[in-house]
Chain A
Amino acid sequence: MVPFTRRTFLGSLAASAIAPAAAAPAVLTRPIPSTGEAMPLVGLGSWITFNVGNDPVARASCTDVMRAFFAAGGRMIDSSPMYGSSQPVIGEGLKKIGATNVFSADKVWISSGTRGPAQIEASRAYWGVPKFDLLQVHNLLAWEEHLPALFAMKAAGRLRYVGITTSEGRRHGDFEKIMRAHPLDFVQLSYNILDREAEQRILPLARERRIAVIINRPFREGDLIKRIARKPLPLFAAEIGATSWAQLILKFIISHPAVTCVIPATTRVDHVRENVGAARDPLPDMAMRARIVQYVEKL
């Protein structure tokens, strides 16, 4: 495994680049290891927030969030068939915005391997994209059957990247085994200031295996923000350009060199701008990361 040392840390920060965007402020990117494609460090999740059914007002709000996300320089939007109406809501937003730069990340989530292709096709139709950039096996459900099918799609040119997901620290043992045994492009898992188990094995393994890492639930579905929102933002937050707790939390996550993209979910335009704004220099160095952990753990 590649140890997480000051040297590797500085090296990975150097690998991060500022991606110029024509109509948006520049955000930091990190390369997807398997191809070198630059990925903005902050993406957009859709768990709960985009599951608004056929509510026209809420759907319009979601479109506004997506519009602000792209305008700020974001690319990756992540969803799943498990997320209720999130997929059609995303599709409607993409169509209204006319977005061409989206990095579409979705999942297959069905216990039957034979029904996987039909679910994927339904998801693609909801999104309204010609093909997905990334498909992941959601929570490792029936991964033995789905992974070969996803690799076959990739080989046939009907998919660009293949991945697996877990959340809240579940099945990390199985996760590791699959990461070692299969040529994955992406893994997705939970990681934040208080939940750092992934630092021990999964994140170093991802670096060693040259697998991109997506981080979900950066705010513990809002609980982390609720818990610390009333506490004062530490003065040292200004040193890394963090103007809010959300930015401090996100900067902590994306400053880990194994992380390719974090996908906070939100229903608010100001929050999505704030989130993408975290992907700007400066990012915390190792000493600052330690200070952040120490400060938050004492709250």
Chain B
Amino acid sequence: MSEWWTYSLTNFLLFSPRTYYRLFELTNADIWPLQLVTLALGLTIAFFMMRSQAWSGRAIAAILAALWLFVAWTYFLERYDTINWAARYFAIAFVLQAALLVWTGVIRNRLGFDPPPRWIGLALFLYALAIHPLIAPLAGRPITQAEIFGLAPDPTALATLGILLAAARPPPHLFAIPVLWCLITGLTLWTMESPEAPVAPLFALLTVAVAISEALAARRKMR
């Protein structure tokens, strides 16, 4: 791309906000009542985090991996790809995150929880599950355009960050793709002048800050 410095983010926005938010409405209509299933899976994850057992980490990683795959297929490939050619690359990233969750959490059992889970992680997870879908009506859009955990990428990424924050010694590589996605979605929403644009990036930065400070604190303890 020549004269790249003359391009702004708006030059890369291929669609209108109305078209973008309709994607969620159409997805929600297509897969109803699967919303109830993903919300139930979310509550199950919360329960597993609260009442941690030896197999909790494996179960949570397996559920999360399935939901990341589901978002890659039903949202990115079925919907977003019809208006944004970059969606197929986002789908690949979501599949990769699912694979990492399976490898790290299910096969190697490296996603453990010490009861009680860290409150900040649990709070972020519950935000993604229960509050984030309300952004649509709060911003004046119909509730049918709600972005729901396990179906839309933003709450899925935020919930994953919450789970990682709640975990004991979370594997750092599991943070990368959810954080990156939060930054990408923030830029997209900011370009669309959407009021919720700062939400996902701020939570992602908060997650990174907390994760780094906890890792440093753990290292000091080991000394």
Chain A residues in the interface with B (C-beta under 8 A): 48-49, 51-55, 57-58, 82-85, 140, 168-171, 221, 267
Q: Are A48 and B6 in contact (CB under 8 A)?
A: no
Q: Are A171 and B16 in contact (CB under 8 A)?
A: no
User: Given the complex, which residues of A lie within 8 Å of B22, measured CB to CB?
Assistant: 52, 55, 57-58
Question: What is the total of A-B residue contacts with beta carbons within 8 Å?
Answer: 53
Q: Are A221 and B83 in contact (CB under 8 A)?
A: no
Those 4 A-B pairs whose CB atoms lie nearest each other, nearest first: A53-B82, A53-B83, A84-B83, A84-B14
Complex-state Cα separation, A53 to B30, whole angstroms: 15
Complex-state Cα separation, A48 to B192, whole angstroms: 12
User: Given the complex, which residues of A lie within 8 Å of B85, measured CB to CB?
Assistant: 84
For B, the interface residue count at a CB cutoff of 8 angstroms equals: 19
Chain B residues in the interface with A (C-beta under 8 A): 2-3, 6, 10-11, 13-16, 18-19, 22-23, 26, 79, 82-85
Q: Are A51 and B19 in contact (CB under 8 A)?
A: yes
With A221-B10, A267-B16 as contacts: A51 and B2 at CB distance below 8 Å: no
Q: Are B3 and A52 in contact (CB under 8 A)?
A: no
Complex-state Cα separation, A58 to B18, whole angstroms: 10
Contact of A168 among B6, B19, B83 (CB under 8 A): B6
With A52-B83, A53-B23, A53-B83 as contacts: A84 and B15 at CB distance below 8 Å: yes
Complex-state Cα separation, A253 to B176, whole angstroms: 49
Kindly provide the distance from the CB of B125 to the nearest chain A CB, expressed in whole angstroms: 31
Q: Are B3 and A49 in contact (CB under 8 A)?
A: no
Q: Are B3 and A51 in contact (CB under 8 A)?
A: no
Q: Are B19 and A58 in contact (CB under 8 A)?
A: yes
With A48-B14, A48-B15, A55-B22 as contacts: A171 and B3 at CB distance below 8 Å: yes
Complex-state Cα separation, A170 to B4, whole angstroms: 10
Q: Which residue of A lies closest to B13 (CB)?
A: A48
With A55-B22, A85-B82 as contacts: A48 and B2 at CB distance below 8 Å: no
Complex-state Cα separation, A140 to B10, whole angstroms: 20
Complex-state Cα separation, A84 to B19, whole angstroms: 12
Q: Are A51 and B26 in contact (CB under 8 A)?
A: no
User: Given the complex, which residues of A lie within 8 Å of B3, measured CB to CB?
Assistant: 170-171
User: Given the complex, which residues of A lie within 8 Å of B18, measured CB to CB?
Assistant: 58, 267
Q: Which residue of B lies closest to A221 (CB)?
A: B10
Q: Which residue of B lies closest to A169 (CB)?
A: B6
Q: Are A171 and B2 in contact (CB under 8 A)?
A: yes
Kindly provide the distance from the CB of B218 to the nearest chain A CB, expressed in whole angstroms: 46
Interface CB pairs A-B, < 8 A, 7: A53-B15, A53-B19, A53-B79, A57-B22, A84-B83, A170-B6, A267-B18
User: Given the complex, which residues of B lie within 8 Å of A168, measured CB to CB?
Assistant: 6, 11
Complex-state Cα separation, A49 to B26, whole angstroms: 18
Complex-state Cα separation, A72 to B47, whole angstroms: 62
Kindly provide the distance from the CB of A83 to the nearest chain B CB, expressed in whole angstroms: 7
Q: Which residue of B lies closest to A55 (CB)?
A: B22
Complex-state Cα separation, A58 to B83, whole angstroms: 12
Complex-state Cα separation, A55 to B79, whole angstroms: 9
Complex-state Cα separation, A168 to B8, whole angstroms: 11
Complex-state Cα separation, A164 to B10, whole angstroms: 22
User: Given the complex, which residues of B lie within 8 Å of A83, measured CB to CB?
Assistant: 14
Q: Are A51 and B14 in contact (CB under 8 A)?
A: yes
Complex-state Cα separation, A170 to B3, whole angstroms: 7
With A170-B3, A171-B3 as contacts: A84 and B13 at CB distance below 8 Å: no
